[in-house]
Amino acid sequence: MSALSVTNAIDERFDLLSPELQRAARWVREHAPSMAVLSMRGIAREAGVSPATMSRLARRLGFLDFDSLRRPFVELIASNRVLAPLPRGGAQHAESSRAQAIVRAQQVNVAALTELNDAAAIDAAAETLLAAPRVAFLGLRVNHAVAFQLYYVHGLIAANGMLLTDFGGTLADQVARLGPRDALVAVSQSPYTRQTVEAVGRARAQGVSIIALTDSALSPIARGASHVLRFEARTASFFHSVNGAIGLAELLLDAVYRRGGHATRGQLEQTRRHLKTIRAYWERPAAPAGA
């Protein structure tokens, strides 16, 4: 069984687990590299549960024991699909290894997109956006840049997008204006921003179609969403990586453009003409006559 199969099993059975087992399962789901290098006691300590809970989780997921649950993650490390600890050595070697580790994590994040999301799921989310009279985009803190990318590129091919922000504390007011036929594309990754989770919950209660772009099927914005598209957010540094989220956003936007047909192509041409008229992009000045 692969590590991806383990995480899929957790996703499928999560709601059937006790709160204690859910806490353990969530930690396993979100800390694949640590699963490969920590002992069962170390993992239990990090997850805030007892070692016996980790053993019970393994059995509930269909494994003989905890070592059987842990083995796919060890194999994942061995195959260089997730990050191993940096090697010891001189400062220059360590810096080079660190840069390679960061780049490797980015490559894994992007490569995982097609494993986590089949084309049919992306196309279905795109159809929901195309059918909605209004499409709102929401991402706060580290995911604000992803939401803005979605809003900006969507604006090139459709005129019904709106970017939700919490400027002036008005996020709840903006969400309240969304209706049952509208769609909300929400982006969030662990640790999940409280305002985003709460805004998604309010929108869902209003009948808004939720398209969740997130890092786990156990994400709080994924629960009850109309569509869940997933990305990896692995990093070898202190910051939360968003290159997987950006890649997923671009896959979704491309699907909207393709499936929109004449409408999205016509809107793109109109946008291009507008940008040319206002001279949005720098052009080299024409050389003086006779120069």
Distance separating alpha carbons of residues 193 and 195, to the nearest angstrom: 6
Of 83-92, 145-154, 199-208, 215-224, the range with the lowest mean pLDDT is: 83-92
Shared-domain flag, residues 117 and 77: no
In this predicted structure, what is the pLDDT of residue 80?
52
Report whether pLDDT(236) > 80. Answer: no
Give the residue with greater pLDDT, 63 vs 36: 63
Q: Is 98 inside a domain boundary? A: no
In this predicted structure, what is the pLDDT of residue 187?
98
Q: Is 41 inside a domain boundary? A: yes
Picking from 58, 81, 104, the residue at the C-terminal end of a domain is 81
Report whether pLDDT(28) > 50. Answer: yes
| pLDDT tens-digit series, residues 94-147 | 566 778 878 888 888 898 899 889 999 999 999 999 999 999 999 999 999 999
When divided into structural domains, the chain yields a total of 2
Report whether pLDDT(36) > 70. Answer: yes
Shared-domain flag, residues 21 and 139: no
Average pLDDT estimate for 177-204: 96
Q: Is 19 inside a domain boundary? A: yes
Q: Strands across the sheet with 209-214, in order? A: 161-163, 135-138, 183-188, 209-214, 227-230
Q: What is the pTM of this model?
A: 0.75
Of 6-15, 111-120, 187-196, the range with the lowest mean pLDDT is: 6-15
Shared-domain flag, residues 122 and 13: no
Report whether pLDDT(87) > 50. Answer: no
**Contact between residue 192 and residue 221 where contact means Cβ atoms under 8 Å apart:** yes
CATH code for position 188 = 3.40.50.10490
Structural domain boundaries, residue 11: 3-81
Shared-domain flag, residues 209 and 253: yes
Q: Is 262 inside a domain boundary? A: yes
